[in-house]
Amino acid sequence: MRHETRKIERTPEEKARLAAVRERFKSRPSAKELAASGEFGPPIPGPTFWAVMALVKALRAAREAAGLSLADLAKRTGMDKAFLSRLETGKQGNPTIDTLARYAHALGKRVELAVRDLEPRTQATPAAAPSAGTATGAAGRK
C-alpha cells in the first residue's frame, strides 16, 4: 500500500497560532504544571488509560473481524475517519463513553460498565504506595 503525504497549507494566522503554541510548550511543562495552570485537566491515571485501551482494542478486533474498514465505520458512526484512527492507535486516549458506545453500536455491539471490588493489595513499600491523587488513592480506600 502506497503512503502519500501532502503539504499542509496554512493561513498566516494558523502559522502564527502554531508558532505561539510551540514557543509556549518549548519548556516541556510537567503534567502537574499543566494541571496547575487551570487550562488543562489532570492527566488520565495509567490504569484508567490501559482499561480504555483494552476496550478500544476489543472494538478494533470486532471491526476487523466484521471486515469493516475505518471508512466503513466512519460512515456508520458519523465520526471522522482520522479521529477513529487516532482512537484505535491510542493517540486519542480519553474518549467519552458516548464515543465508545457509538463505535460499538456500529458493530452491533454494546459497551457495558461495571463496578467491581479492588484487588486486595499486598504490603506496599512507601515508594510504591499510591498517593491520594491516583486512581487507587483516597477514593479507593475503605
73 burial level (CB within 10 Å; 0-12, 13-18, 19+): buried
Q: Is residue 25 part of a domain?
A: no
Which range marks the domain in which residue 102 is found?
46-106
Q: Is residue 37 part of a domain?
A: no
CATH label of the domain that carries residue 84: 1.10.260.40
Per-position pLDDT tens, the chain of length 142:
565 666 778 899 999 998 998 898 889 888 788 888 877 777 778 888 888 999 999 999 999 999 999 999 999 999 999 999 999 998 887 899 999 999 999 999 999 988 888 888 776 555 544 444 444 333 433 3
Helices (H), the chain: 12-24, 31-36, 46-65, 70-77, 81-89, 97-106
